[in-house]
Structure 1
């Protein structure tokens, strides 16, 4: 039995060095594209990990809301108004804000994200938070994110290894007066490009940490839990049609996508990553073009001969590609 060896393979076998260089060039650009996509995924995954850890079918935020790191508060009344709509089972308020965390070892202060919740209406799906939710019912007791960056000091190590509950000092950004709290337990969430570390506290403790900058009736996020079998999209449309336009309503997926859009289009890191991905694609096109151009130029006589003896353009195109 006779086997036909493809002409394209014969050409590649005759020019092995050029073939290997072409493979290396294409492999490089593919690797470069995957690296850029990996950076983008890391950005978006870290930016939305808090969204994914929240319980709720719908989420209420201010109409001026841009991101978890650039948010605006809204009236708690809006959340209670949502509770009156058909299909809504319960609502949970959440306060968020940045404070300065004093490293107990070197005394340096670093920005930390403080999340205040109502312990009676848990909003987190994280098992460690659910397990230790009763601990933050005690005033001035917090849960510390063990995955926070190292600049906050050995807080998690002290708790886990020395079996002690470290006392830490937190400063509102508009105050030089610190507020002491005790670490009651740990949880795992992790930092992002905008957040270096996290604390979860009760709403009461949150308002003690920020006594002047945050009125109790102003919240940052409202989680809405629907009754079983209720269509979230339908309830969301009803809320949008009937609530004042000073709030926005999202499904959990839409809430995360809104955050991704912010980081992709309105932050320097998002612009740089998009630019690098575009540049990688352009470089890839140029490399592939140069490979094809070089191959056609070196085999121009052979292709002309094939054309002269009757082969059609489609056949030559298949050989080149």
Structure 2
């Protein structure tokens, strides 16, 4: 028995010029969805970058801190109290200043910037030849921790927006520039990589011991006694969920202790569901999907219309409607794949360019690419089935 003629594939490649236009149209819609999804994912990924680089099981925050960029804090004394809990092995405070932190690079205007403290335990060894377990796993911090011990020094995020005026050499180290932080001179002794988000366009790392020098009015004159994030490490085998609930109850109303996954989910839920930005990007994805349906419908309808007499002959010969449905479904799947492949390559280049320009994490994972492929295929299937209505409903004689 001879194999069946791949009619759906033959219909697509019968006119190479039309096929290229069709694939380009599908690819254009896919790139639109990739871009909107990329910005939405950046919106969700960027606020939790700091949570992802802390090395601990639990994170304590003020109950009034409904999102991480909000300047709501709790007293450091609470962290000292949790050391008595048998499940806790170590605690550390993370100080973040945004409101009073303004940086000025020579030749550029003063701009607000996020300043993050580096715990002293991450800068000094615990014994001769001993390297401490870092509290912050930030790329570039470990190589520069010796330089950061010096007074009035800082590290700058390489992904800080260019508007700040920071200059870097070919190896990514900051160039020699005069820098002021909160109207005081500061020396940049290295760089790190963390990234920006929708609330912070740049970041500096400074030693906790230097934090009070630059922000003396923080915490009503006690800058080191008000904590933004409390980092808590647990004994091996301890349940993070149970410990978080127990420690929260220890000072109910004064702080909230969450696992890293809980605070990540909480932050991403806020940005996706409670801010207009998240809804805008979701609507943008749906608009790309709708545009794709219109483009694909025009392409597949024209293709069916041009071959209508041939389809009428097949229908008159007794071919059932399910044959034509299957034909259009296969044709739609082929078209979606042909349009998706170049769209992925374009999206990768576009994401790399946008990440370089904005500092936002424009990550294209396999699962995220797969979701766009599903949307692209569904888009083509809906378009194909809409275009098929005339053929399915018509009498064969009326099609000649």
TM bucket normalised to smaller: 0.7 to 0.9
Higher-strand-fraction structure:
1
Which of 106, 114, 125 lines up with 2:137 in the alignment?
125
Contact 1:64 1:71 in 2 (8 A): no
CA distance in 1, matches of 2:162, 2:24: 40
- CA distance 1:154–1:7, shift in 2 (3 Å): closer
CA distance in 1, matches of 2:7, 2:291: 29
Contact 1:124 1:130 in 2 (8 A): no
Contact 1:46 1:192 in 2 (8 A): yes
CA distance in 1, matches of 2:11, 2:139: 60
Work out whether 1:142 is the aligned partner of 2:143. Answer: no
Shift of 1:29: 1.4
- CA distance 1:245–1:299, shift in 2 (3 Å): farther
Where does the alignment leave 5 or more consecutive residues of structure 2 unmatched?
123-133, 330-400
CA distance in 1, matches of 2:33, 2:245: 39
CA distance in 1, matches of 2:109, 2:225: 33
Aligned to 1:103: 105
Which string of whole-angstrom CA distances, capped at 9 and with x for unpartnered residues, describes residues 130-149 of structure 1?
A: 35445545543333334433
Which of 201, 205, 211 lines up with 2:216 in the alignment?
211
- CA distance 1:210–1:17, shift in 2 (3 Å): same
Q: Matches of residues 185-196 of structure 1 in structure 2 within 5 Å?
A: 185-196=190-201
Higher-helix-fraction structure:
2
Q: Matches of residues 83-102 of structure 1 in structure 2 within 5 Å?
A: 83-98=83-98, 99-102=101-104
Contact 2:108 2:165 in 1 (8 A): no
CA distance in 2, matches of 1:244, 1:21: 63
Q: Matches of residues 10-89 of structure 1 in structure 2 within 5 Å?
A: 10-14=10-14, 16-89=16-89
Which string of whole-angstrom CA distances, capped at 9 and with x for unpartnered residues, describes residues 246-288 of structure 1?
A: 4333322333343333443455544433232221122123333
Q: How many residues align?
A: 312
Contact 1:114 1:198 in 2 (8 A): yes
Aligned to 1:254: 262
Aligned Cα RMSD in Å?
A: 3.3
Residue aligned with 1:48, SS: helix
Shift of 1:188: 3.1
- CA distance 1:226–1:161, shift in 2 (3 Å): closer
CA distance in 2, matches of 1:282, 1:227: 52
CA distance in 1, matches of 2:93, 2:287: 43
Aligned to 1:174: none
Which deviates further from its counterpart, 228-237 or 134-143? Answer: 134-143
Which deviates further from its counterpart, 69-78 or 131-140? Answer: 131-140
Which string of whole-angstrom CA distances, capped at 9 and with x for unpartnered residues, describes residues 64-83 of structure 1?
A: 22333224112223333433
TM-score where L is the length of structure 2: 0.66
CA distance in 2, matches of 1:144, 1:24: 42
Which deviates further from its counterpart, 143-152 or 197-206? Answer: 143-152
CA distance in 1, matches of 2:307, 2:159: 58
Contact 2:149 2:207 in 1 (8 A): yes
Which deviates further from its counterpart, 131-140 or 270-279? Answer: 131-140
Shift of 1:224: 1.0
Contact 1:119 1:134 in 2 (8 A): no
TM-score where L is the length of structure 1: 0.80
CA distance in 1, matches of 2:178, 2:42: 32
Shift of 1:303: 4.0
Where does the alignment leave 5 or more consecutive residues of structure 1 unmatched?
172-177
